[in-house]
Amino acid sequence: MRLTPGSSTVWSVDTDRAVTNEFSQLKLLSWEAVATALLAVSAVVLFGLGTTFPEVRALGYAPMLAALVIAWSVNRSFARDLSVIAGCLALISAISVEADISWTNIARMGVVLSVVVIGPWLVTRYGFKDQTIQFPLRRGQPWSRLEWAWLVFVVVVAWAVLPQYFMRTGVYLNWPPLTNWSEVIRLFFGVNAVGIWDELFFICTVFALLRKHFSFWTANVFTTIIFVSFLWELGYRSIGPLLTIPFALVQAFIFTRTKSLPYTVTVHLLFDALVFLTIVHAHHPDALPIFIGV
């Protein structure tokens, strides 16, 4: 655990608790929570509503600006961290994250998504002298039987549920039709790359920075709203939030309890492997007949 000079609260993934210097942990009913809620609303408009109704997308910057004004007015330490998150969301919103697997879009997304992971780590570590953003590896500790069992559970549930969701709602059409092997390979690469990035950004960065100031569940819910909004633009629409909300909430819980980024990423990649197979099956059911009931 490390205390950051000039910071009121520091969260450590090692212990999953905040240590306070001058102030107690922020409450749900606080101006800081209002600011974070506004930032979450901004994400909903930018990535959610703005995808379905493009004419309202620009309105998403208004609650983002309001969030920053409130944050800087009440708590400078908190405002720094919220500004980092807001800056990342603004940068992501400058590009389209819809499922486009052209090489040009892969390169564009690769640059932007890399910047919003590396940038916050550099800014907080060397600018703020704060080590809240961490990528714990948990070396030398084998996964427990429960952790292995959870991996099996994830595969079984994903195999049973994802084809029903993708094919019965038609959301698989939000992904390219996969007319050749090059597109299949690019889809596989894209799904897995974004899956890894999800954990690096939403869990190791957004959740960690919010957890530094709020209780676990408060930080988790705010992070989930932002994450699910991003996934909506990516293609998980219709009843998608019924799947992505529980998934997001559980991933933060797993990361906090296991203290292992590799394990958390493994869970995500197993889920995404079934996403990939489902999309391929939906477009070419005869080529990959591994699902039933669809």
Q: What is the tens place of the pLDDT at every residue in 139-178?
A: 989 999 999 999 999 999 999 999 999 999 999 999 999 9
| Residue tagged 């991996």 (tokens) | 151
pLDDT tens for the chain, residues 1 to 294? 333 333 444 556 655 554 433 344 788 889 999 999 999 999 999 999 999 999 999 999 999 999 999 999 999 999 999 999 999 999 999 999 999 999 999 999 999 999 999 999 999 999 999 999 999 999 989 999 999 999 999 999 999 999 999 999 999 999 999 999 999 999 999 999 999 999 999 999 999 999 999 999 999 999 999 999 999 999 999 999 999 999 999 999 999 999 999 999 999 999 999 999 999 999 999 888 999 888
- Which strand (E) or helix (H) includes residue 12? strand 9-12
Domain assignment present for residue 288? The answer is no
Domain assignment present for residue 4? The answer is no
What Å distances lie between residue 180 and 103, 184, 273, CA to CA? 14, 7, 19
Domain assignment present for residue 167? The answer is yes
How far, in Å, CA of 148 to CA of 128, rounded? 38
Which pTM value belongs to this model? 0.91
Domain assignment present for residue 3? The answer is no
Angle formed by the axes of helices 103-122 and 76-93, nearest 10°: 170
Domain assignment present for residue 292? The answer is no
- Specify the number of domains making up the chain: 1
How far, in Å, CA of 91 to CA of 46, rounded? 11
Domain assignment present for residue 1? The answer is no
Q: Residue 197 corresponds to which tokens in the numbers above?
A: 């990035």
Q: First vs last Cα of the chain: how many Å apart?
A: 50
How far, in Å, CA of 253 to CA of 42, rounded? 24
Q: CA 123, 33, 95, 105 torsion: positive or negative?
A: positive
Domain assignment present for residue 254? The answer is yes
Domain assignment present for residue 238? The answer is yes
Residue 189 lies in domain: 9-283
